[in-house]
Amino acid sequence: MSPTPAPPVILGDTEELVEEVTVNASSTVSLQCPALGNPMPTISWLQNGLPFSPSPRLQVLEDGQVLQVGHPPTWAKGSGC
């Protein structure tokens, strides 16, 4: 027996999910978009309104539900990130 289809739902209070975050340039911040559905929804992260490619500075984790933005490691400097 297959699971019952369910529409995608963003978990939590969406007003609290949208907030301004200020961090030091050398820090890392994790942005979260917890969601459920069946099939599991695909989460897209945008930068300036456009999809981005993961890089040493921007990483998508936990099946797309977390975007980690960090200071690029020293080895990545000058790599066009």
Q: Where are the domains of the chain?
A: 6-11+26-76
pLDDT tops 60 at residue 2: yes
> What's the pTM value of the predicted model, to 2 decimals?
0.68
pLDDT tops 70 at residue 73: no
- 46/71: higher pLDDT: 46
SS3 category, 16: helix
SS3 category, 78: coil
Q: What is the pLDDT of residues 8-58, one digit of tens each?
A: 998 887 676 666 777 787 888 888 889 999 999 999 988 788 887 778 888
CA distances from 20 to 3, 16, 29, 50, 59 (A): 37, 10, 12, 19, 19
